[in-house]
Amino acid sequence: MLRTKRPAPDTAQRILEVAERLVQKRGFNGFSYADVARELGITTASLHYHFAGKAQLGEALLARYSERFSEALSVIDARPAAGPAKLEAYAELYADVLNGQRLCLCGMLAADYETLPKGMRQSVVTFFDENERWLTSILQKGREDGSLQYEGSAVDAARLIVSGLEGAMLVTRPYGDITRFRVAARGLLASLTRAGRSQAPAD
């Protein structure tokens, strides 16, 4: 039952890995079945055996990505850390993606949104909703235990974080300088760690 190293992933998994990278780098309209097949040394006909069409492949990519992201959030949840540290860990998830010269899958697909098959559209929105929900919970708890101070509602702050990090990835990538991203992320989170420092904001 024990596997020593990574067991050779089956073809469907390898297809998903290659396709995911291509979409994150080039966009949904910027890659083809032929690109994926070439990298794997198989034919496009084989690709169609595993994923009936590009739309189905895209939906599989989204399901996998969202699931993986949710697991990463659960890992952060399990840590005995305060609000600010959890937000930093969250931002680090994005930095890791950018470090691989990629955009967030759903950030990229948000750009491609108008051209996406219907099924994919809903999955993109759901991804953002789940991130927002998780962040809202963290922000709410942080406000209650005093580790986070911010103005406005927790959900608005959560949305600001999601869009701020997505935008920082988008704009940073052409510069090829991850520091640019980290500085933006730090600035973004700092405003939620120290805003409203005075208990009674002077209306």
Query: Using CB under 8 A as the criterion, what x/- string covers residues 104-143 for binding its own copies?
Result: ---xx-xxxxxx-----x--xx--x---------------
Residue 61 contacts DNA per CB under 7 A? no
Question: Which of 52, 63, 85, 171 touches its own copies by CB under 8 A?
Answer: 171
Residue 141 contacts DNA per CB under 7 A? no
Question: Which of 55, 81, 93, 170 touches DNA by CB under 7 A?
Answer: 55
Residue 43 contacts DNA per CB under 7 A? yes
**CA–CA dist 60, 51 (Å, integer):** 9
| Phi, psi (rounded to 5 degrees) for 148 | -130, 135
Residue 112 contacts DNA per CB under 7 A? no
SS3 87: helix
Contact call for residues 98 and 181 (beta carbons, < 8 A): yes
Residues 6+ apart with CB under 8 A from 6: none
Residue 87 contacts its own copies per CB under 8 A? no
Distances (CA, A) of 162 to 13, 143, 167: 28, 18, 8
Q: Which residues bind DNA (CB under 7 A)?
A: 10-11, 31-35, 41-46, 48-50, 52-55
